[in-house]
Amino acid sequence: MKRRNLLAFACASMVASAALADDRTIRIIVGYSPGGSVDAVARLLAERLRVSLDQNVIVDNKPGAGGRLALVELKRSAPDGNTLVFTPSGVLVIHPWLYQNIGYDPLKDFTPLALTNKFDFAITSGPGAPSGDLKAVMEWMKSNPQKANYATSGAGTVPHFVGQLLAQTTGVPLTHVAYRGGAPAAQDLIAGQVPLMIDTASETLEHHRAGRVKILAMTGDRRNRAVPDIPTAKEAGFDFTADAFFGLYGPSGMQPARVQRISRAVEQAVSAPAFQDRIYALGLTPSYAGPTELTSLQAEQFRRWEAPIKSSGFKAE
């Protein structure tokens, strides 16, 4: 009898220990398929957090609705800090202006934890545009409005509305041409089917280096390390900037101590030279910001995109 009781106690202890381990697992939901830059950075971050937080950290890919399904799931999660979402900013600052009933309030339903990186966008011309700098290409488009088209990786994306900012700044009525991804857009740019493309530098960088296309300007507030010889849009003579970011979020209602602990762990990760090197290799710029700064950045970008989106007349289906 004693032996059976001891065995039962041992089994119960094992079950309790397993449950405790599961409770201490941090799940980082990524609303995109494996292999992309969001997933890649999330996995780099998870590697670092496992050590600094002394917890098991896993990445759980839940693609769907352009990343919005992950945020809906996060909203419904317990605020214990064990379910988080790693996301690009578009679903928080662009999508709420495009879609009705998206299932979350971007400014109220989540706890901003930390920023890991920013990224800007390349304005790239192909053989369908004349040679020259950005100003020359925009002047040509103004004189040839029927050819004033620009390609992006999809309708309703940040590059879509970066193009609208460019149109507003230059007074050129640019027409958006949406593709299903950056690769097919780049191929049509190379083929001369569209004269201009706006997307992340990674989509056209190799073609630029090979001389098939020309990156005219980058949209950040400073030159991009991947293409240090390329001017910013401001340096090219156009007074606008546009960038986006990746951030880590929890559900609303998290305890401040838990928020600070996770945020500090992300800061340690982002400050590590090895982490930064891998972020730069993805064409991104490592940049840490804590909860307060991330909250302000998100709110600023949310307000900033309202006018370009509304003035574009674009309606998401």
**Distance between CA atoms of residues 58 and 55, nearest Å:** 10
Q: Measured between alpha carbons, how far apart are the two ends of the chain, in Å?
A: 67
Q: Which tokens belong to 225?
A: 């390390």
Give the tens place of pLDDT for each residue, 34-48: 988 899 999 999 999
Contact in structure between 26 and 81 (CB atoms under 8 Å)? yes
**Distance between CA atoms of residues 179 and 63, nearest Å:** 19
Q: Which CATH class is domain 25-118+244-312?
A: alpha beta
Res. 153: pLDDT tops 60: yes
Residue 264: what pLDDT?
98
Residue 266: what pLDDT?
98
**Distance between CA atoms of residues 249 and 58, nearest Å:** 15
Q: Distance of alpha carbon 181 from its chain centroid, rounded?
A: 15
The residue-averaged pLDDT of 277-282 equals 90
The position carrying tokens 């920013």 is 118
The residue-averaged pLDDT of 48-53 equals 96
Cβ neighbors of 226 (< 8 A, separation 6 or more) are 201, 205, 280, 283
Cα dihedral sign for 226, 262, 114, 271? negative
Contact in structure between 38 and 6 (CB atoms under 8 Å)? no
Q: Do the domains 122-218 and 25-118+244-312 match in fold?
A: yes
Domain extents for the chain?
Answer: 25-118+244-312, 122-218
pTM, to two decimals: 0.84
Give the tens place of pLDDT for each residue, 181-197: 889 999 999 999 999 99
Nearest alpha carbon to residue 200 among 65, 34, 37, 61: 37
CATH number for the 122-218 domain, one of 3.30.830.10, 3.40.190.10, 2.115.10.20, 3.30.420.40? 3.40.190.10
Res. 16: pLDDT tops 60: no
Contact in structure between 95 and 66 (CB atoms under 8 Å)? yes
